Amino acid sequence: MDPRIHTSVGVNPQLHQRMVPKLMMVNALLVLPLNQLLARIEQELGENPALELDEIPASPEPDWSGEESGQSLATWTSDDEEFDPFSRMAAPVSLQEHLMMTLQAQGLSARDHAIGERLIGYINENGYVEATTVQVAQEMNAEVEEVEAVLGRIQRFEPVGVGARNVEECLLLQLRVMEPAPANRLAQRLVETHLADLAARRFEKVAKDLGVTIAEVKDAHEFVKANCYPYPGERYRNEQDGGRVRPAEVARPDIIIRPTEDGFTVELCRQDAFALRVNAFYDDLRRQMRRAASGYSDKSRDHVRDYVGRAKLFIEALARRNWTFASIVQTIVRTQWEFVERGEAHMKPLTKAMIAAELGISESTVSRALDTKFAQLPSGRVVSFEIFFDQSLPVKERMRALIAAETDPLTDEQIAHLLTAEGTKIARRTVSKYREEMNIPPSTARGPLAEAP
């Protein structure tokens, strides 16, 4: 039987009837990130006596392509003492993974949990949410009020300030959880109404507008500088580097991208958990029942047939899920190998539709396979798969370098001219958008608040 999912359906009614349960199970397994997939396998092992773990070591290079012969789309290696991906993962959990774990512990309804996952998917490395609640509401077919409520829940997660939509909201989220001292109360008024003036140190104007003394404004300004940070994501990473993250919060990528002499290869994590087989007793009993016309009750026959059939279905669906996932990842790596090797500045144009067209599967299958999953790069960095499709990264990296090297603050118009001169045609408004997404203040406000700890 042809292992490629896209060519296995609709050939004839009987084949269609046999394939539908398998495809449904493949799709159900495909969406699961590693921790949920392992839990699903444990559940199946506990419920089906005809299914068991295969303790025989796997071949060093098993053929996961599902074909009798030919080159596999992905190279797989067994879990042995020489290769333990988790032993090399010194990097603690990423911000998004941390937020996902926190979300799991909230006990939300399935609907609110799905909204929360979508919102967290839009939170960038600095901790800011890059989508509006209106946009998320449209994507999730929800009311804006529902999305606002879930976002409010996420904004109470650690690090404080995460999920903010702008720097004002980020600072206010932090100030509001502190003791309501006079300096704090005034600081909140300043952030809400005069943040730009505060960044430009126009203390006299602020004092006059709010009817307070210049000394009080300065005290409130110092309070913000001493107690707030404009980039909660950066703060989170710094705390990880300082060893203040619990040992249990270790990143768990779904797949490892490893360098080889010829390029890169991809490897599933926890392959030992995927080595399943039909229990020998049940398999032998099933064969005996098929040969014997009598001697077994209908109930016994149904019991054995159903459990063995379910075990075989699960084993094949899991193998197909792994083949599909690995094929998608290897196709990504073939396009984005320079990013994998050299970083964001070398990202190439890539869409999920392009991946789907190359593999002959649907774009929705690609999306399901990659959603909420993570890859470990050869550097040890763990990233969401969404990063491979972010075409703004090279431009943002160059913008960041230009701003870091500036002597006098560059305006968005000047940055656009410089990038265009280098061969990247870009409008001023796009520069402004990217700068805001990176939470870099405009040229007129690159001052004390931007450098606050």
The confidence band for 128, taking pLDDT boundaries of 50, 70 and 90, is very high
Query: 322, 274 in Cβ contact below 8 A?
Result: yes
What CA dihedral angle connects 29, 35, 38 and 40, to 10 degrees? -50
Give the Å distances, CA to CA, from 151 to 103, 111, 239: 11, 13, 24
Please, are residues 115 and 146 in contact by the beta-carbon 8 Å criterion? yes
- Can you say how many angstroms the Cα of residue 417 is from the centroid of all Cα atoms in its chain? 34
Given this model, what pLDDT does residue 394 score?
76
CA distances from 416 to 42, 396, 421, 422, 437 (A): 54, 12, 9, 10, 16
Q: Residue 413 pLDDT more than 70?
A: yes
| Residue found by looking up tokens 């404080």 in the block | 160
For residue 267, the surrounding DSSP H or E stretch is strand 263-268
Q: How far apart are CA 300 and CA 290, in angstroms?
A: 12
Half-sphere exposure for 5 (CA within 13 Å, toward CB): 27
- Residues forming CATH 1.10.10.60 domain(s) in the chain: 393-451
Name the one residue in this structure whose structure tokens are 């602020």. 206
Residues paired with 83 in a beta bridge: 80
Range 415-444 average pLDDT: 82
Q: How far are the Cα atoms of 145, 182, 308, 345 from residue 229, in angstroms, in the given order?
A: 28, 20, 58, 27
Locate 400 and state its tokens. 């960041």
Q: Mean pLDDT, the chain, as a whole number?
A: 77
Whole-number Å distance between alpha carbons of 120 and 303: 44
> Which of 69-73, 159-163, 186-190, 375-379 has the lowest average pLDDT?
69-73
Read off the pLDDT of residues 204-226 as tens digits, 9 standing for 90 and up: 998 998 899 988 888 888 888 87
Predicted confidence (pLDDT) per residue in 61-97, tens digit = 434 333 333 333 333 333 333 333 333 333 456 788 7
Question: For 308-363, how does the pLDDT look when each residue is reduced to its tens digit (9 = 90+)?
Answer: 888 888 998 899 999 999 999 999 999 889 888 887 778 888 888 889 999 988 88
Among 9-13, 145-149, 373-377, 434-438, name the one with the lowest average pLDDT: 9-13
Identify any residues that bridge with 80 across adjacent strands, giving them in sequence order: 83
The structure tokens listed for 11 are 């050939």
Least confident of 36-40, 166-170, 199-203: 199-203
By the 8 A CB rule, do 45 and 52 touch?
yes
Using the Cα atoms of residue 387, residue 318, residue 97 and residue 132 in order, give the sign of their dihedral: positive
C-alpha span between 171 and 226 (Å, rounded)? 12
Q: What is the CATH number of domain 393-451?
A: 1.10.10.60
Residues 169 and 228 sit within 8 Å (Cβ to Cβ): no
What is the pLDDT confidence band of residue 18, given thresholds at 50, 70 and 90? Answer: very low
- In the chain, % helix, strand, coil (3-state, to 5) comes to 60, 5, 35
CA 252 distance to own-chain centroid: 11
Amino acid identity, position 446: R
Are 206 and 196 in contact by the 8 Å Cβ rule? The answer is: no
Q: How confident is the model at residue 293 (pLDDT cuts 50, 70, 90)?
A: low
